[in-house]
Amino acid sequence: MNLTLRVWRQSRPDTAGRLESYSINDISEEMSLLEMLDLLNEQLQAKNEEPVAFDHDCREGICGTCSLTIDGVPHGPDEETTTCQVHMRRFVDGATITIEPFRATAFRVIKDLVIDRSAFDRIIQAGGYVSVRTGGTADANAVPISKLEADLAMDFAACIGCGACVAACKNGSASLFTAAKVAQLAHLPQGQAERHTRVIAMVQQMDAEGFGSCTNTYECEAVCPKAIPARVIAEMNRDYLMALMKGE
């Protein structure tokens, strides 16, 4: 398989970026997109050219660090799939593929395809944890919780914080990410003591980071690799309003 790649190159956060074209040949259809970028970098280094910087870690769809925009779609053309799980058989021979970093005001481009997602870390630091003293580790069945609530908490905890929801949203909203992190604790008994202070702190931090507001276009849900439903945003908004009314 032979392809033309249009890749975003940007040497530093304070410099202008541009799309550069590269021709790459003899690509195996069994390669992942990241392995194809590895091959591109090997060819660039062989010519003493600067390799393309991009993030990756597990390459198993778990960590979310591989986040790229492929032909205008965060994580590429496949649903419920991270960038590292996209394989080259998804593209046709001779195609032109455009690869860019996630775009959002709160996601600064560090270099080429690498972005700064530390804004997500600060949202978690604002309240995405249980800080009350709960004593020693309880037995597995000591705290009653229904299967429905446990399943919902696990579903929302599946969020890997990749940022695709932000990149897809026309407003650059982080509501899906924040709501998932709020809800995973709101559906557990251990999270009830700080439920209202948590949602206020995390929503306020989200706004302080420069993320936009949610206007219910559902692009976030469409590109989420873990299929986090947009209805979790309604849960967050409900808890936020209840917390404000209670003055917490």
Q: Where are the domains of the chain?
A: 3-40+50-110, 118-246
Are domains 3-40+50-110 and 118-246 of this chain identical in fold? no
Cα separation of 187 and 23, whole Å?
50
Per-residue pLDDT of the chain (248 residues; tens, 9 = 90+): 999 999 999 999 999 999 999 999 999 999 999 999 999 999 999 999 999 999 999 999 999 999 999 999 999 999 999 999 999 999 999 999 999 999 999 999 999 999 999 999 999 999 999 987 766 767 767 778 889 999 999 999 999 999 999 999 999 999 999 999 999 999 998 899 899 999 999 999 999 999 999 999 999 999 999 999 999 999 999 999 999 998 76
CA 32 to CA 75: how far, in whole Å?
A: 12
pLDDT value at residue 134: 63
The whole-number pLDDT of residue 140 equals 66
Query: Half-sphere exposure of residue 52, counting CA atoms within 13 Å on the CB side?
Result: 29
Is 7 in contact with 19 (CB distance < 8 Å)?
yes
**pTM value?**
0.93
Under CATH, what is the fold of the domain 3-40+50-110?
Answer: Ubiquitin-like (UB roll) (3.10.20)
- In angstroms, the CA 181 to CA 221 distance is 15
pLDDT for 71 equals: 97
CATH of domain 118-246: 1.10.1060.10
Distance CA(66)–CA(38), nearest Å, equals 13
The DSSP result for 182-219, as a single string, is HHHHHTSGGGSTTHHHHHHHHHHHHHHTT-B---S--H
Q: What is the pLDDT of residue 246?
A: 85
Predicted local distance difference test score (pLDDT) of residue 248? 63
Give the strand pairing for 108-111 and 114-116. antiparallel
C-alpha distances out from residue 31 to 22, 27, 28, 147, 212, Å: 18, 7, 5, 40, 36
